[in-house]
Amino acid sequence: MNSAMNAPRIHNPKLRRLLSKKNVTRLLIALFRTVFIIGICFTILYPLLNKISMSFMDETDLYDRTVKAIAKNFTPQNYLEAMKFIDYGEILLNTVILCTLVSVLQAASCTVVGYGFARFRFRGRGIFFALVILCMVVPTQVILTPQYLNFKAMNMLGSFAPFVSLGLTAVAPRCGLYIFLARQFFRGMPKEIDEAAAIDGAGPYKTFTSIMLKSAIPIMVTIFLFSFVWQWGENTYTNLFYSNFQTIAKTLDNIGYSLADIQLGGGSVVSLAAQMAYQSIMRATSTLLAIIPLLIIYVFCQRFFIQSVERTGIVG
Amino acid sequence: MQRKVKSKGPAYKSSLMQRRNRTGYVFITPFLIGFALFMLIPMIQSFIFSFNDIKIVEEGYTLIPKGLYNYKNILMIDTRFRQNIVTSFGLTIRDTLVVVPFSFFAALILSKEFKGRTIARAVFFLPVIVSTGVLATIDMKDSVMMMMMSRDAASAANSMQDSFSASSLVNLLFSGSLPISMLETISQATSGIYEYIIKSGIQIIIFIGGLNTISPSLYESSNIEGATAWVNFWKITFPMCGPYILLNLVYTIIDSFTNLSNPLISRIRNDLMGLKNFGIASAAAWIYFIAIFIVLGIVFAVLQRRVFYHE
């Protein structure tokens, strides 16, 4: 209402009413948006904040009614214990090696394949692209067993070989999605680039390596990030193909069982609740330890990530 | 590989452009090799497995032919399979109906300019980063433990629940002033919201990408014609997002069908991981695969004609 009054040039009362209505709606929408966003952000952050607050608690704090979010006996001890318990140094190194290997290979292969689908009109392109879609649709369970048996027959189990071969040939799980993203990205680039490059005497390979790759950095970072993150939490494939390789995902998946084995208090009478509280704290701290590297990477890659989200129009 | 060789042959006259286009095969060669070796062959094998019983031996495996027995066993004898498949269809329908509208709505809001948008986006995409695979199920397992705890050690656990379980949010807000049945509904809804937000990550990204492809000039001209935001939405935003809605529908259906929390998938997975019942598990996977394919086919057939492509 007020802002309409403040606009002195409008003399027509009808128009004025319309404007004020518009303003009220706008205000309501803004209010609704703010509530919605804050609500969702809270829902997303709440479990995380919860774990952070819990990870600094002594277990007596957990069943102390007066303690809510801030620990009374503030202690970093849990982190040290959890690190020792899950053997953090080793599994972190293992996971980083595996994830980097897999995601570098996938980012490279999917970008190349996506480029091929986006910039060349060859015979059978539609059919071949349908195969990419098929890769997305086939449940991994259908092909997992034969893959396992084949890798076993080729003596490739228990090494990085299965991961390398799947990543290099762009058929690892979710590679279909990445090829799709890369294809969309390259489709959006003007055709004139190719023509100009051809006139300057660059062949298709030269065009790709010296022109296209440079502008493809956002999409490659995005694929890298997606694939890295997915591999970080992935357990099925690692379990099957490289069963004695300890990763963070594998450790976390079994943490319930390994925590249940811990006995507290050196033989004294410890209540079930205290045991449970301790387990919960360890679980929260270990989960945080597993997520922290991802968060750090996200902070650095976030800009690229959102940039390529903005640019990639993903039309089917 | 064969196709690549064929393409180099002088089968038809080629212009410079055609020759250039054929280098496309070179770029997609890695995928073609990978598809043949690691998708096509395993799919054929798995199809054969589904008609056999598999024994794992030292040097590999042996097949014991069973004919249609595996399929008959699953469809006729095993009551669990039919139950599971109905459950997974129900879950998928529920997921799709919630996730697609929600992510569209969230993307609409996040694509508009407002203060703190960068932070809001960073938070919205956070689940995509931190809640994949095993990491996503950790919380679920913990809440199961919470329930067990409240049964086993009621008093102590109650006070603990106050400080950290999922329903503490509800307790915090209503602190006992509402009847318990209502509280339960609300707490279920809130934990459900979290689950759906996590599931919507990629879809929100796809929708934001889609919304950004709509040219602002469309809105400008319609505003000049005097259209309201409401009309703009239904006449421009919604139809222009058609392809993305279809893509997200398909993605959500696949995601939900192949999710590990899906009873059928976890059952097939357990059979395969335990290296037993290979034949039956393969048959179940194939039936399931065909069911997914039929559902996707129906979705495509119904929506493809209605979707507007701006090309």
| pLDDT tens by residue, B119-158 | 888 888 888 777 776 676 666 555 544 444 443 334 343 4
- The pLDDT of residue A79 is above 90: no
B212 with B268, same domain: the answer is yes
- Sign of the alpha-carbon dihedral angle for A118, A124, A126, A128: negative
For residue B245, what pLDDT is reported? 87
- The pLDDT of residue B233 is above 80: yes
Q: Report if residue A84 sits inside a domain.
A: yes
A257 with A122, same domain: the answer is yes
For residue A56, what pLDDT is reported? 82
Choose the closest CB to A295 out of B28, B127, B130: B130
More confident call, B230 vs B19: B230
The pLDDT confidence band at residue A311, using thresholds 50, 70 and 90, is low
Q: What is the DSSP letter of B165?
A: S
Q: Do B3 and A124 touch (CB under 8 A)?
A: yes
B91 with B237, same domain: the answer is yes
The pLDDT confidence band at residue A103, using thresholds 50, 70 and 90, is very high
* pLDDT (average), residues A74-100: 85
Q: Do A310 and B208 touch (CB under 8 A)?
A: yes
B84 with B201, same domain: the answer is yes
pLDDT tens for B164-194 read 444 445 455 555 555 666 666 666 666 677 7
The pLDDT confidence band at residue A312, using thresholds 50, 70 and 90, is low
pLDDT tens for B202-217 read 888 888 878 877 888 8
For residue A310, what pLDDT is reported? 64
How far apart, in Å, are the Cα atoms of B217 and each of A307, A314, B82, B306? 22, 20, 52, 24
* pLDDT (average), residues A282-289: 84
Choose the closest CB to B121 out of A64, A139, A306: A306
Cβ neighbours for B49, distance < 8 A, ≥ 6 positions apart: A145, A146, B63, B278, B279, B282
Whose tokens are 């058609």? That residue is B242
Q: Report if residue A100 sits inside a domain.
A: yes
Chain A hits for B137, Cβ within 8 Å: 253
Supply the range of the domain harboring residue A47.
2-55
A167 with A38, same domain: the answer is no
Is residue B218 a contact partner of residue B236, using CB atoms and an 8 Å limit? yes
B23 with B114, same domain: the answer is no
A36 with A85, same domain: the answer is no
A159 in reach of chain B (CB within 8 A): no
Percent of chain B with pLDDT over 70: 72
For the stretch B185-190, contacts whose Cβ atoms lie closer than 8 Å and that sit 24 or more positions apart, written own/partner, are: B190/A43, B190/B166
- The pLDDT of residue B96 is above 60: yes
Q: Report if residue B310 sits inside a domain.
A: no
For residue B156, what pLDDT is reported? 40
Q: Report if residue A29 sits inside a domain.
A: yes
A134 with A266, same domain: the answer is yes
| Token pair recorded at residue A169 | 């040939």
A192 in reach of chain B (CB within 8 A): no
pLDDT tens for B264-285 read 777 777 777 666 677 888 888 8
- The pLDDT of residue B228 is above 50: yes
Strand partners, B61: B56
The pLDDT confidence band at residue A110, using thresholds 50, 70 and 90, is very high
A43 with A188, same domain: the answer is no
Total CB pairs under 8 A between chain A and B? 293
Q: What is the DSSP letter of A267?
A: G
A108 in reach of chain B (CB within 8 A): no
- The pLDDT of residue B8 is above 60: no
**Interface with chain B: mutation pick from A33, A86, A103, A143, highest number of B CBs within 10 Å:** A143
> Mind telling me how many Å the CA of A252 is from chain B's nearest CA?
7
For residue A106, what pLDDT is reported? 94
The pLDDT confidence band at residue A225, using thresholds 50, 70 and 90, is confident
- The pLDDT of residue B259 is above 90: no
More confident call, A114 vs A29: A114
How far apart, in Å, are the Cα atoms of A217 and each of A204, B10, B193? 19, 37, 35
Q: Report if residue B58 sits inside a domain.
A: no
Name which of B166, B142, B130 is nearest A281 in CA terms.
B142
A206 with A265, same domain: the answer is yes
* Closest-approach residue (CA) in chain B for A147: B42
CATH code for the domain in which residue A145 is found? 1.10.3720.10
Strand partners, B62: B55
Q: Report if residue B205 sits inside a domain.
A: yes
Q: Report if residue B61 sits inside a domain.
A: no
A98 with A242, same domain: the answer is yes
How far apart, in Å, are the Cα atoms of B81 and each of A143, A225, B73, B258? 20, 37, 10, 16
B43 with B86, same domain: the answer is no
The pLDDT confidence band at residue A68, using thresholds 50, 70 and 90, is low
For residue A208, what pLDDT is reported? 87
Supply the range of the domain harboring residue B143.
70-304
B157 with B11, same domain: the answer is no
How far apart are the C-alpha atoms of A304 and A185, rounded to whole Å? Answer: 13
Q: Do A280 and B164 touch (CB under 8 A)?
A: yes
Whose tokens are 């802002």? That residue is A3
**Interface with chain A: mutation pick from B49, B110, B130, B165, highest number of A CBs within 10 Å:** B130
Q: Do A123 and B132 touch (CB under 8 A)?
A: no
For residue A49, what pLDDT is reported? 83
More confident call, B39 vs B242: B39
Q: Do B272 and A144 touch (CB under 8 A)?
A: yes
More confident call, A286 vs B163: A286
- The pLDDT of residue A89 is above 80: yes
How far apart are the C-alpha atoms of A151 and B81, rounded to whole Å? Answer: 30
- Across chain A, mean pLDDT equals 80
The tally of domains found in chain A comes to: 2
* Cα-based torsion angle of the residue sequence A268, A273, A279, A281 in order, rounded to the nearest 10 degrees: -110
- Across chain B, mean pLDDT equals 75
Chain B hits for A273, Cβ within 8 Å: 149, 153, 156-157, 160
For residue B29, what pLDDT is reported? 92
Chain A hits for B205, Cβ within 8 Å: 309
pLDDT tens for A185-194 read 887 777 888 8
For residue B214, what pLDDT is reported? 81
More confident call, A249 vs A188: A249
B281 with B147, same domain: the answer is yes
> Mind telling me how many Å the CA of B165 is from chain A's nearest CA?
9
pLDDT tens for A126-171 read 899 889 888 887 877 778 888 888 888 888 888 889 999 999 998 8
The tally of domains found in chain B comes to: 2
How far apart are the C-alpha atoms of B264 and B285, rounded to whole Å? Answer: 9
* pLDDT (average), residues B36-50: 89
CATH code for the domain in which residue B84 is found? 1.10.3720.10
For residue A104, what pLDDT is reported? 94
B170 with B105, same domain: the answer is yes
Q: Do B210 and A313 touch (CB under 8 A)?
A: yes
The pLDDT confidence band at residue B100, using thresholds 50, 70 and 90, is very high
A310 in reach of chain B (CB within 8 A): yes
For residue B183, what pLDDT is reported? 60
Q: Do A287 and B135 touch (CB under 8 A)?
A: yes
* Closest-approach residue (CA) in chain A for B264: A141
* pLDDT (average), residues B234-254: 85
Classify burial at A256, counting beta carbons within 10 Å of its beta carbon; exposed 0-12, middle 13-18, buried 19 or more: middle
Q: Report if residue A60 sits inside a domain.
A: no
